[in-house]
Amino acid sequence: MRLNRFIGNFDLDAERVTLRDLDVVHQLARVLHLQVGERVVLCDGAGYEAEGEISSFGKDEVQIALGKKYKNENEPLRRVTLYMAVLKHENFEFAAEKATEAGAAKIVPVLSARTVKTGMNTERVRKIIKEAAEQSGRGIVPQLSEPMMFADALQNAAGNDGNLFFHTDGGTAFEKEPETISKRKTGIFIGPEGGWSDEEAEQTKAAGFRIVSLGPLTLRAETAAIIATYLAAR
């Protein structure tokens, strides 16, 4: 049976930890209905984790006795940053959740020329990302940056080892970019439902990014984000 897991700033070198995050305490006691003696996995958010046994429940805390910590082996070899054009809030939340499950290390919301600005609740998205990381067995919680303009996203991506700009109008097939795909730190750009503007595509070329395609089919932006993240991370 797979154990429930929680990611947080836990001291895994300690013999015992006390959880005081009220959301976690509520989930353990009221949602999952776990009992003293049952086991969970605690992750420190830096790639290490340990199994623990619930030793007691208090009003606002839970004590857990820890076993030996070990390295989480589920993280992808490559660090992928997803530069995702802001979508309608429920669509962006879905893309962020599934990109986390697919292996994204960081998600950057991008305000593009064709972005429909609906307002994004970043704290809600961070919670969704954290829950997706825990559910999927990740050892870290992907970072969510504050939304940034397209030009700022290009500048931010300059620090990556390679960048892939997914565009419906041309570009080489994704699988024909092995050199860029194999980079240790890769950025991938996914546009809004209306696609990137011609000016944005030209700015990307000038920045030296590779323009690629996921094939002839027309994909929803969130679908493209999930597929591209999974392929680039591996």
Q: Do 153 and 199 belong together in one domain?
A: yes
User: Which CATH number do you get for residue 125?
Assistant: 3.40.1280.10
C-alpha–C-alpha distance, residues 181 and 234, integer Å? 9
Q: Do 88 and 62 belong together in one domain?
A: no
Structurally, how many domains does the chain consist of? Answer: 2
Q: Do 115 and 88 belong together in one domain?
A: yes
pLDDT tens sequence across 164-196: 999 877 666 565 555 555 568 999 999 998 899
Q: Do 136 and 191 belong together in one domain?
A: yes
63 neighbors 56 (Cβ within 8 angstroms)? yes
What one-character DSSP code corresponds to residue 51?
A: E
pLDDT tens sequence across 198-233: 999 999 999 999 888 888 888 999 999 999 999 889
Q: Which residue, 49, 83, 82, is CA-closest to 67?
A: 49
- pTM recorded for the entire structure: 0.89
Q: What are phi and psi of 92, to 5 degrees?
A: -65, -40
Q: By residue range, what is the domain housing residue 28?
A: 5-71
